[in-house]
Structure 1
Amino acid sequence: MGIVKSAVLYTALVLGANAANAQAADISALREGDMKKLVVHDDPRPASDKSFSDADGGDHSLADYEGQVVLLNFWATWCAPCREEMPALDSLQAEMGGDDFQVVPVATGRNSLTGIRKFFEEEGVEALPIRLDPKQALAREMAVLGLPITVLLNRAGQEIARLQGDADWASDSARAIISEVISAGGDS
């Protein structure tokens, strides 16, 4: 009986690994332009359970988004490349955000709420929520070593890809990658 259970478990693990590797290959094939900087992981990685807050002081965590594909963007008001890519992230959220997908921008470090609101207003950012990580607990645990960093999470809340630096998140390539992860369903 133990051998049969072991064989079934092994088969399930192999099939799951093969599905994750297949999706990594599919995503990699869609990378063009800025998306060539996107590093796609062969195997999903755990994400942080550290909390962050909203503009009203409410607590949130990545677990709030379980079941959705998430594009987690770490940024700061003082970071020029972060400011440059924010309108594209807003456009991506306006176009694709919903029950299956969310863009979650997290202002990490010292960012005044007034400064964030002013920046969003100046740039016409309307579809994105304000999320804050003032003590950088989430950023530290997610190994954010510079800004901007954008992390793609699958429906199980696992990191499947990461991009360091700014990118055009409203590009055809970015939308195709997000669509591929959404359509894959499941946890891969």
Structure 2
Amino acid sequence: MKATPKILAAGGALAAVLVGGLALYGTGSNLGNLAASGPCAEAAPVAARLAPLARGDVAAFDASAPPKPAPAVAFKGPDGAPTDLASLRGKLLLVNLWATWCAPCKAEMPALDRLQAELGGDSFQVVAINVETRNLDKPPAWFKANGIAHLTYYGDPEGKVLPVIQSAVGSTGLPTTMLIDAKGCTLGVMKGPAEWSSEDGKRLIRAALAKSS
């Protein structure tokens, strides 16, 4: 049976659509280029440098996703005044969500404190945000009682930070930790605790700061 002109025309149109689709979406590398063309494109090489360093004490650190802007969240500073992640931009941030009812959170807090003491400064800061909404005097008292002296106390008594960040990174528990570059792009996520002041942890942070390990 001979193909009619209508069938030929339809076939030609379908072929054009398929070719156009392949041109736009075709290969994995093209998808990668599209993913790396957004506001966090410059962070992609840094995240790629971090991925092989996720081992040992920070083996659960995940730098596999293309970097994207960190969630815009607001919380309280040590004096109770409002602040947010945007106000801390300009340095590498290790943003950690924790609570006193979370045993793994408390177990890793001394390591975060040591990390801040050793590497914290103009280029890097650990931002530990307490997510409790009741008994608000308990978390800062726990800081003091356990010798957490180098971390600035941040809290979210309104309970807004936890659901936003957990939704953004796909986490359902605590602690949840994000590594965010100086321009506000997420380089990677840790779901669960880690020995952040270990050599593995410091090597990861130094690599993100583009320092030699």
Quote the Cα distance in structure 2 between the aligned partners of 1:103 and 1:130: 10
Q: Which whole-Å deviations, capped at 9, do the CAs of 1:136-175 have from their partners, x for residues lacking one?
A: 2122211252110011001111111000111101011111
In structure 2, which of residues 164, 181, 198 is the aligned counterpart of residue 154 of structure 1? Answer: 181
* Alignment check: 8 A CA contact 2:65 2:188 kept: no
**Identity across matched positions, percent:** 35
Paired position in structure 1 for 2:123: 100
RMSD over aligned Cα, in angstroms?
2.2
| Residues in 1 aligned to 2:198 and 2:205: alpha-carbon distance in whole angstroms | 11
What secondary structure sits across from 1:28 in the alignment?
Answer: helix
Cα 1:118/1:159, change in 2 over 3 Å:
same
**Contact residue 48 and residue 142 of structure 1 kept, 8 A:** yes
Q: How does 1:63-78 map to 2 (within 5 A)?
A: 63-78=86-101
**Structure 2 counterpart of 1:55, from 58, 69, 78:** 78
Letter in 1 for 2:68: R
Shift of 1:105: 0.3
- Measure how far apart 1:48 and its partner are: 2.1
Deviating above 2 A after TM superposition, structure 1's stretches of 4 or more consecutive aligned residues are: 19-25, 109-114
Deviation at 1:113, TM superposition (A): 3.6
Give the TM-score normalised by structure 1.
0.83
Q: Are the aligned partners of 1:77 and 1:111 in contact in 2 as well (CA < 8 Å)? A: no
Report the 3-state secondary structure (helix = DSSP H, G, I; strand = E; otherwise coil) of the residue aligned with 2:87.
Answer: helix
TM-score by structure 2 length?
Answer: 0.74
Higher strand proportion (structure 1 or 2): 1
Structure 2: stretches of 5+ with no match in the other structure:
1-33
Please report how far the alpha carbon of residue 107 of structure 1 lies from its aligned counterpart in structure 2 after TM superposition: 0.4
Q: Where in structure 1 are there 5+ consecutive unaligned residues?
A: 1-9
Q: Deviations over 1:71-122 (max 9, x none)?
A: 0000001110000000000000011111000000000132534212221122
Counterpart AA for 2:199: D
- C-alpha contact (below 8 Å) 1:92/1:169 kept by paired residues: yes
